[in-house]
Structure formats: C-alpha cells, structure tokens
Structure 1
Amino acid sequence: MKIGIYGGSFNPIHNGHIYMAKFIVDHLNLDKLLIIPVGIPSHRKNILADANMRLKMCEIAFRNEKKIEVSDIEVKSKDIAFTYDTLLKIIEMYPNNEYYEIIGEDSGAYFHRWKNYKEILKLAKVVILQREGYSTLLKDANILQVKNPFLNFSSTGVREAILKEESIESMVPKEIAEFIKTNKLYKR
C-alpha cells in the first residue's frame, strides 16, 4: 500500500491544503493519505489555535474523501512533534508499506536541518510540493519534487482576514468558515 503523510499546523486548514491533498493522492496514486495536524510544534513557538479545534477543522474538510484520513497521532501526544518520531509511529501502525512524507518547498528549503532527516529519507520518499519563492537544495534519490500549481492561499492570510473582519469564504470551505465563527477562533 502507498501511504502519504501530510503534516502541518493547519492553523486553519484552507482551500490550498485541501486542493494539494487531493492533488497528491491522484498524482502519486496513493492508497491512503494521512492528514496530521501538529500537536506541539518542534520548529516554532506554539501560538497555534487549540490542537483539537484544528483537528476538527481537518476532519470537516476531508470527511467525504475516501482515501484521505485525519489522524490525531500528534494532537494526542504530550511530546513535541518531530516528523521522524511520527513517521516511526505510522510505520508501526501500518507496517510493510511504501511511505511518502509530503512537505512544502518552504520546509524543503531547510529539510537538511530536521531531526534525523537522513533516517527519514531511508524510511520514506520525501515529496516536495512547489511553493513560490522557495527552492530545495538537498538532492537525494528519495526526494521527489512535484510540479504542482501555485495556489495563493495561506493560513496567515485567513487569520489576517478574520482580524480585519473580512470574508474568508473564498479561502476556506463554508463549513470551516462557520466553524471558525461559531468557535470564535483567531480573534484577539
């Protein structure tokens, strides 16, 4: 089985994340794509919305996708989330498969600084999605650079629009916009 692993803060999940998840399932012909919202991030100060709220938004976004599953593996962990550790847990849960770690080119630009990045490359193919303004310098047989459309969406843009009390309906699915409003997320 070909299993993709797409982790991120998803703070909040937006149309770009959703499009790329569906795109990568088709592009790589994956049997399963795991969407993994981070619990406690390893690379930045934790100023994220509540992890369970971000998890719920991901579940709403992908509830009708047969090949896409949202995992709480990092949200329920009390430890800082490192990709390597999560990958080992995924391999334990789904042994003897092909694994594809999906990252954006913004992360690919400094992938060589990730915890145990060489081990990640031995255990999985690292799939790098193009992101405007970034480039990946690291070359390896297990790094796959994907030509994908550039989408002009960002979680930062969604949060900024909310603070300015602007509509976010073009950036996130309607159900996500309603969830954010109902739960008063991203307000100061």
Structure 2
Amino acid sequence: MKIGLFFGSFNPIHVGHLIIANSMANHTDLEQVWFVVSPQNPFKKNNSLLHEFDRFTMVERAIAENFKLKATDIEFNLPKPSYTIDTLVVLAEKYPQHEFVLIMGEDNLVQFENWKNYQQILDYYALYVYPRPNTAPHNFKNHPKVKFVEAPLLDISATFIRKLLQENKSIKYLVTEPVEDYIKIKNFYR
C-alpha cells in the first residue's frame, strides 16, 4: 500500500489540514494518508503546544469518518525532538509491506536542506508537495523525487485558531465539530 505521511503538531488540526490530506488521498496514487502527530518539532518552540495525546485525540475525532485517513502516534515513543528520518526508519521496519511518501507544503521545501539527513530521505522516499503562497525559491523544482500536487489553498493556521480561542471568539468552520466540541469540553487554548 502506498501511504502519504503528513507530519505536524496539529495544534489543533483544522480544515486546511483535512482538505490537503483528503486531496492527497483522493487525487494522487496514495491509498491512505497518515497524520503523524509530532510530540515536538525541532524547528518550533514548544510554548503553546497541547499534550500529544490531546492533539492525537483531536486528529482521530477530525478524521473518524474517512477510511482513507488515519492517525498515528508512532513518534510518541521516539526520542524528542522528532526527526523525520528517524520516524521513517521506524515506520519502514514496522510496516515493510507499505511504501511511504512524505507530504509537505512548499514552504517546508524551502528549508528541507536543513533537515537531519535530508539527502537520505530523498534517496529512499518521494515528496508530495502542495503549493503555498509566496514561497521563497528552492532547489527542488525539477527534482525527480519531488512531485508537486495541486491542492486547494486555505490560509488557515493553528496559531490563528488559538488566538481566536484566547479572545473568546468563534472557531466554527475552521475546525470540525468534533474537534471544536473537544476543545470546548477541555477548555483548551484559553
């Protein structure tokens, strides 16, 4: 099975994430997209990050009715911060029957050469890249392992959603109802 891996903190998961994952699952040769919930991104500060189990629960709630989307907590038992190459090695060992592909925004491609063992990632894995507005130039436009995939662009960020919640404003339609309900029940991001 060919599986796209969509890494992120998903703090919280929002409709922009879901539209990208669904586009990848339905408009490419991927059979499934797995949301890899990262406990800690080496490039991001950890200040407003919810506990990984809460973020994982929100992802599961958001995708519950879509059999092509799956959540994985594979990084929860790996050393922190999480490095993509280490996760890929563990996934390849655990699921040798699958072919894994990385899904990322073009904005991440700009800094891809700063990733741990990025060349090794490119040697063994394809990258499916969705466009992002105002992306700086990068060296991967014509790379044989990099495939650009059209996906609807929504300029929604988890940072913006957290800000709305802190201001006691509505996040309706920015996240799914099950995620919104969970955030309210748990009183997150206040």
Both proteins in one fold, TM over 0.5: yes
Shift of 1:76: 3.5
Shift of 1:96: 4.7
Shift of 1:106: 1.8
For residues 60 and 70 of structure 2, what CA distance do their matches in structure 1 show? 8
Shift of 1:78: 4.1
Shift of the 135–127 alpha-carbon distance from structure 1 to 2, 3 Å rule, reads farther
Q: Any idea what the Cα deviations from partners look like across 1:45-72, whole Å, max 9, x if unmatched?
A: 2221111110000000111111211001
The answer on whether the counterparts of 2:9 and 2:40 sit within 8 Å (CA) in structure 1 is no
Query: Aligned-residue CA RMSD in angstroms?
Result: 1.4
Give the letter aligned to residue 180 of structure 1: I
Output the TM-score relative to the length of structure 2: 0.93
**Pairing 1:145–2:148 present:** yes
For residues 177 and 150 of structure 2, what CA distance do their matches in structure 1 show? 28
Other-structure match for 2:36: 36
SS of the residue 2:128 aligns to: strand
Shift of 1:136: 5.1
The answer on whether the counterparts of 1:84 and 1:117 sit within 8 Å (CA) in structure 2 is yes
Number of residue-to-residue matches in the alignment: 187
Q: How does 1:21-170 map to 2 (within 5 A)?
A: 21-47=21-47, 48-135=49-136, 137-139=138-140, 140-170=143-173
Other-structure match for 1:5: 5
Q: Any idea what the Cα deviations from partners look like across 1:157-188, whole Å, max 9, x if unmatched?
A: 1111101111001200111111011111111x
Higher mean displacement: 10-19 or 73-82: 73-82
SS of the residue 2:134 aligns to: coil
The answer on whether the counterparts of 1:105 and 1:136 sit within 8 Å (CA) in structure 2 is no
For residues 7 and 30 of structure 1, what CA distance do their matches in structure 2 show? 16
For residues 27 and 34 of structure 1, what CA distance do their matches in structure 2 show? 15
Give the letter aligned to residue 133 of structure 2: E
Give the letter aligned to residue 108 of structure 1: L
For residues 180 and 113 of structure 1, what CA distance do their matches in structure 2 show? 34
For residues 184 and 136 of structure 1, what CA distance do their matches in structure 2 show? 40
The answer on whether the counterparts of 1:103 and 1:129 sit within 8 Å (CA) in structure 2 is yes
